[in-house]
A and B are shown apart, each in its own frame.
With several copies, the nearest count.
Chain A
Amino acid sequence: MSFSIKAEITAHVKKAAGLYRLDLYAPEISSEVQPGQFVHLRVRDGGYDPLLRRPFSIYDTNKSRGEISIIYRVVGRGTSILALRPPHDKLDLMGPLGRPFTFWEEDEKVILVAGGVGMAPLYLLVKALLKKGVHVKVLLGARTEGELVGTEDLQELKLKPCVATEDGSAGFKGLVTELLKEKLGENSFHRLYTCGPRPMLKEVARVAADFQLKGEVSLEEIMACGVGACLGCAFPIKTGEKGAQETVYKKVCAQGPAFSLEEVIYD
């Protein structure tokens, strides 16, 4: 079940330059959402500028308060307008949407790799995994310290994420995928979950394959409808048996955003 509602902004805070956390009162969505799902929202009420909604992962929920949170980076016109919306404003919201991450009962130890705001769909997953007693290792990567997402929230869950920044301003200096290689060399995991920029995902998938580690990835693509009706958000996916593989286009909004790491064609 999905809903189309007007959700009041209960809090809207700047976490770092260009990075915001938005809390919304949306009890229907809060109680239904599963990790990896997203909301599709209008940054401005009325008017045609911009015309389309914008999709954002549900970062966290507070079920007792009927709230959901999203974390977003200002990258263009829509997010710039969103950043100006004050508390108590109401946003046009659709959700929860999309196919959530899959849980495997047999998993005991999983590793998560997030690039920047790619942490957004993973935080709720971390919480769900911890609740199931799964051991969770989180790797966070970003260009620079200010672009890291979720470090404090993870610490509140008593997790110590391994951090990599390209400029060395925090943690390991280099790409998070190098960190991943190191961790996979040291330890074995039952599953990998990841979200981040496309080149990172490609490398994560390659590394995971090297270690024969399976997992899921949360993809992003420009969306129109968000519900599987327009076929706008297609992503190339491999299907069929090895040898006779074919490419088909799957809908990120309805058949994803979570896909299995191996089936996605990253370029």
Chain B
Amino acid sequence: MIDLSVEIAGIRMKNPVMSASGCFGYGREYVSFLDLEDLGALVVKGTTLEPRKGNTPPRICETAAGILNSVGLQNPGIDSVIRQEIPYLKNKNVPLIINIAANLEEEYIELARTLDPLEEVHGLEVNISCPNVKKGGMAFGTDVESACRLVKTLRSVTTKPLIVKLSPNVTDIVEIALAVEEAGADALSLINTLLGMAIDVNRRKPVLGNIMGGLSGPAVKPIALRMVWQVSEKVKVPVIGMGGIMTAEDALEFIMAGATAVAVGTANFVDPRAICEIIEGMENFLQDNNISNINQIKGAAREDCEL
């Protein structure tokens, strides 16, 4: 009855709820708790060309309604992911999106080239916004020109849908969004984490081994929602909203702000079944409100609003 399906850059999803990169491992970690096929799409941990060791622990610090993480893109590298993880996910009936990260433009390109021939990969999410590594992409995400150049080049080496993940640590996210769209992005993901920190007053030291980390969780939702609202007003490509989504209501806020789909990150840590609960809750909301198709409420909160 209720149609929750959406399409992002040619990727057909049975519902608009995806896993957020880095918060759902490579999927397998959650199979005890849910059926991967229930997800709208599965976005895996940020993957680099070479293996990455990651940052010095502690890497997690709980804050008021949020967490700081400084994982620092620890991952086994693309070759290992292709060998060890993708085959497992290949047989699951769920769109698979690989999140790629790098320090250098050449590495991004090499990653895209490597993944391009793989049929089982439905799209690439280009992380130009990781705040947790010295050269981890955020330099790309906070500078219009390098973001543009990167996306243009990537566009030329792969036919896979390119989803560009934006950083919220910027003065004007709309400017970057427009530039990246112009450069050839098929969709935009926002937001990545906000750069933050915490200090342990008893030890008189930063809590995180890496001093700063990325803030996620319900604390950041108002900021994320505002950015999705601002960006989706201006761009034509679909926007994937994320940042603090814990409940179906939260997800609906993003859809009503103009997002086509949403991703769920930190919530998985609180409830391993969060994604499924959110999907179910959205379906119930639509049912209760006699809405047959999720696309009907996309951007609904914008109507009669002027800024």
Contacts and interface: CB of A to CB of B under 8 A. Distances in A.
Question: Do A and B touch directly, given a CB cutoff of 8 Å in the complex?
Answer: yes
B192 interface: no
B59 A232 contact: yes
Contact of A227 (B22, B69, B272): B272
A4 B66 CA distance: 22
Interface string B260-299: 0000001011111100000000000000000000000000
Nearest to A224: B269
Contact of B29 (A48, A50, A229, A235): A229
Overall SS of chain A's interface: loop
- Chain A contact-residue range equals 20 to 34
Given A4-B271, A92-B271, A234-B54, A229 B65 contact: no
Contacts of B91: none
A227 B65 contact: no
Nearest to A236: B57
A229 B60 contact: no
B184 interface: no
Contacts of A229: 23-25, 29-30, 45, 268-269
B71 interface: yes
B57 A2 contact: no
A2 B62 contact: no
A49 B246 CA distance: 13
Contacts of A248: 53
B138 interface: no
Interface in A233-267: 233-236, 247-249, 254
B256 interface: no
Contact of B59 (A51, A94, A228, A234): A234
A227 B272 CA distance: 9
A48 B23 CA distance: 18
A184 interface: no
Contacts of B33: 2, 4, 94
B66 A51 contact: yes
Given A51-B270, A52-B67, A92-B271, A230 B60 contact: yes
B31 to A, nearest CB: 10
A54 B233 CA distance: 35
B61 interface: yes
Interface of A: 1-4, 42, 48-53, 92, 94, 221-236, 247-249, 254
16 contacts: A4-B272, A48-B217, A50-B62, A51-B270, A52-B67, A94-B33, A222-B59, A224-B269, A225-B268, A226-B269, A229-B25, A230-B69, A232-B60, A234-B54, A236-B57, A254-B29
Given A2-B32, A225-B269, 5 more contacts: A230-B71, A231-B22, A232-B59, A234-B54, A234-B74
Name the 5 nearest CB pairs between A and B, nearest first: A229-B25, A232-B60, A229-B29, A48-B65, A2-B32
